[in-house]
C-alpha cells in the first residue's frame, strides 16, 4: 500500500463527490422530486456550496477509506493472502462504517425535512446522498473489488517482472546475489522514492563496476 493506494483513494472519493453534485443539480436546478422536500422554485446553486461540500465529503470519505484499508493491511500482515485480507478486513469494518454513515445520513437528512433555509436543504441533501453512496457502493463494493482483483494481478505481474530482471542480470555476468540486491534496490526506490530510484541504482552499479 503506497502511492497507488493514494491515487485510488482520491479517484473513488471523487466518485462520491461527483454523485453528490449530480443529486443537488437534479433536484434544485432541474426540479426532479423537488416537491417531496418542498424546494419551491428551481434556480442556480450558489458557487460556494460545491466547494464546501467537497471539503466535508472528502474528509468523511477519506476517514472511511483509512479505517477500511488499515484493517485490511492488518489482516494481510497476518495472513499474507490478499483475497483473505480483503474479505476479513471488510467483514470487520462493514458494521462500523455502515453505522457511522447511518448516523451522518440522519443528521444531514434532518436539514432537508421542514427546514425553511434553502442553503441548508442543498447541503443536507447533497451530503446525505454522497455518504449513502460512499458507504454502500464505494466502500462496501467498489474498493474491496479493486483491492481483491487488481492488487492480486499486480503482485503476480511484479514478481514475474522481478524474476525476469534477475535472469537478465545474471545472463549479463552479474552474480545472482548481486542481481537480487539490485532488484531489491529497484523495488525499494520504485515504491517509496520514484523520482530518484534510477539515480541510486546507477551509482550502485557503477560502484560495482557493472557500467
**Residue whose C-alpha is closest to residue 123's, from 21, 18, 33, 204:** 21
Angle, CA of 64, 46 and 59, to the nearest 5°: 15
Residue-wise pLDDT tens digits, 17-65:
888 899 988 888 887 877 777 676 677 888 888 888 888 888 888 888 8
Q: Are residues 134 and 200 in the same domain?
A: no
Q: What is the DSSP letter of 42?
A: -
Q: Are 89 and 79 in contact (CB under 8 A)?
A: no
Residue 123 CA to chain centroid, in angstroms? 24
Q: CA–CA separation, 122 vs 10, rounded Å?
A: 24
Residue 196 DSSP class: G
pLDDT (tens digit per residue) in 88-109: 888 888 888 899 899 999 988 8
Mean pLDDT of 188-198: 51
pLDDT tens-digit readout, 134-177: 988 888 888 888 887 766 555 554 565 566 666 766 776 766 66
Cα 161-163-164 angle, rounded to 5 deg? 65
In sequence order, the 6+-apart residues with CB closer than 8 A to the CB of 135 are 64, 97, 98, 100, 101
Tens digit of each residue's pLDDT (9 = 90 or more) over 96-142: 889 989 999 998 888 887 666 778 888 888 899 999 999 888 888 88
Residue 165 lies in a domain: no
pLDDT at residue 163, rounded to an integer: 66
Of 125 and 81, more confident: 125
The structural domain count of the chain equals 2
pLDDT score for 211:
46
Q: Is residue 209 predicted with pLDDT exceeding 60?
A: no
Residue 164 lies in a domain: no
Residue 182 grid cell: 539490485
Does residue 107 lie in a domain region?
A: yes
Q: What is the model's pLDDT at position 103?
A: 92
Residues of the domain holding 179: 172-207
Amino acid at each position: 500500500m503506497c502511492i497507488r493506494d493514494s491515487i485510488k483513494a482520491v479517484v473513488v472519493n471523487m466518485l462520491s463527490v461527483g454523485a453528490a453534485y449530480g443529486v443537488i443539480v437534479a433536484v434544485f436546478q432541474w426540479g426532479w422530486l423537488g416537491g417531496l422536500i418542498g424546494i419551491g422554485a428551481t434556480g442556480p446553486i450558489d458557487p460556494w456550496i460545491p466547494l464546501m461540500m467537497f471539503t466535508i465529503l472528502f474528509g468523511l470519505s477519506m476517514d472511511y477509506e483509512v479505517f477500511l484499508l488499515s484493517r485490511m493491511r492488518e489482516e494481510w500482515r497476518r495472513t499474507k493472502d490478499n483475497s483473505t485480507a480483503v474479505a476479513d478486513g471488510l467483514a470487520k469494518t462493514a458494521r462500523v462504517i455502515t453505522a457511522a454513515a447511518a448516523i451522518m445520513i440522519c443528521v444531514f437528512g434532518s436539514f432537508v425535512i421542514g427546514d425553511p433555509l434553502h442553503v441548508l436543504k442543498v447541503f443536507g441533501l447533497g451530503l446525505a446522498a454522497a455518504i449513502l453512496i460512499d458507504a454502500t457502493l464505494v466502500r462496501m463494493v467498489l474498493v474491496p473489488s479493486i483491492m481483491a482483483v487488481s492488487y492480486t494481478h499486480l503482485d503476480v505481474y511484479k514478481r514475474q517482472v522481478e524474476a525476469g530482471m534477475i535472469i537478465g542480470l545474471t545472463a549479463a555476468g552479474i552474480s545472482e546475489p548481486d542481481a537480487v540486491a539490485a532488484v531489491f534496490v529497484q523495488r525499494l526506490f520504485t515504491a517509496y522514492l520514484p523520482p530518484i530510484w534510477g539515480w541510486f541504482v546507477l551509482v550502485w552499479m557503477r560502484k560495482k563496476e557493472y557500467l
